[in-house]
């Protein structure tokens, strides 16, 4: 949960759209600072995303190797996707992405954690789920694999090995790092989790 600012502090006094794209919008906000000054902040507005730690009965986690243009190379990631379907609940987005990217469904779902990916300039909130009791499904009707997904590699690796790959620097995607470490901690010492439909 985000702690709100005190009344009269950090309020937006002006907002100017700079760019509107397919996924993101960039705005220039003028913000009232404590003490009476103002400051300009460029903010990327993002629809949010989900990521899934898909853990099978043998303790293996599903990882994807996908090309990411902004970093100019491949990253190992969790099944994940944008919350870009109007009216779709985050859990339903997670279920859809798991089916689309790795043709899996899960019997049990838990909300592991939520994270702001880059809060210094972007409002993207990522909800990270744990999916257990995996089974194969067919690709959802109407879904077409395209672009970077045509080149994706899918692996199942022991969760402990995936965690070591985080420390080795082999896994650098932030949602994957957070999700894998959270899943490992939860399995080692179960914690109270929020309701699966929380945000």
Q: Where does the pLDDT of residue 190 fall: very low under 50, low under 70, confident under 90, or very high at 90 and above?
A: confident
DSSP 144: -
In whole angstroms, what is the distance from residue 47 CA to residue 171 CA?
A: 24
Percent of the chain, pLDDT > 70? 97
Is residue 149 annotated as a catalytic residue, yes or no? yes
CA 68 vs. chain centroid, Å, equals: 15
3-class SS of residue 162: helix
Instruction: Write the pLDDT tens digit of every residue in 3-23.
Output: 988 887 899 999 999 999 999
Instruction: Write the pLDDT tens digit of every residue in 77-123.
Output: 999 999 988 889 999 999 999 999 999 999 999 999 999 999 999 99
**Closest by CA position to 108, among listed 132, 91, 92, 134:** 132
Domain ranges of the chain: 12-45, 49-188
Residue 100 in tokens: 């689309």
Instruction: Write the pLDDT tens digit of every residue in 175-188.
Output: 999 999 999 999 99
**Closest by CA position to 50, among listed 100, 3, 5:** 100
In whole angstroms, what is the distance from residue 21 CA to residue 34 CA?
A: 33
Average pLDDT over residues 60-77: 96
Backbone φ and ψ of 90, nearest 5°: -55, -40
Catalytic residue among 101, 124, 149, 153: 149
End-to-end CA, the chain: 8
Residue 74 in tokens: 């491949």
Instruction: Write the pLDDT tens digit of every residue in 142-176.
Output: 777 666 677 899 999 999 999 999 999 999 999 99
**Closest by CA position to 91, among listed 52, 117, 55:** 52
pLDDT value for 78: 98
**Closest by CA position to 169, among listed 76, 81, 72, 79:** 76
Percent of the chain, pLDDT > 90? 82
Fold classified for 49-188? Nucleoside Triphosphate Pyrophosphohydrolase (3.90.79)
In whole angstroms, what is the distance from residue 49 CA to residue 155 CA?
A: 22
């Amino acid at each position: 949960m985000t702690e709100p600012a005190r009344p009269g502090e950090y309020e937006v006094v002006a907002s100017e759209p700079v760019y509107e794209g397919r996924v993101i919008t960039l705005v220039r906000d003028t913000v009232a600072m404590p003490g009476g000054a103002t400051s300009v902040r460029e903010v990327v507005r993002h629809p949010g995303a989900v990521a899934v730690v898909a853990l099978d009965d043998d303790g293996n986690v599903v990882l994807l190797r996908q090309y990411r243009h902004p970093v100019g190379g491949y990253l190992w990631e969790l099944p994940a996707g944008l919350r870009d379907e109007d009216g779709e609940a985050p859990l339903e987005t997670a279920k859809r992405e798991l089916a689309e990217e790795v043709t899996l469904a899960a019997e049990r779902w838990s909300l592991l954690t939520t994270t702001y990916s880059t809060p210094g300039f972007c409002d993207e909130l990522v909800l990270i789920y744990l999916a257990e009791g995996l089974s194969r499904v067919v690709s959802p009707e109407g879904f077409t694999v395209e672009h970077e997904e045509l080149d994706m590699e899918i692996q199942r690796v022991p969760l402990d090995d995936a965690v070591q790959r985080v420390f080795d620097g082999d896994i650098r995607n932030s949602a994957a790092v957070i999700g894998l470490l959270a899943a490992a901690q939860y399995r080692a010492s179960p914690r109270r989790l929020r309701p699966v439909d929380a945000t």
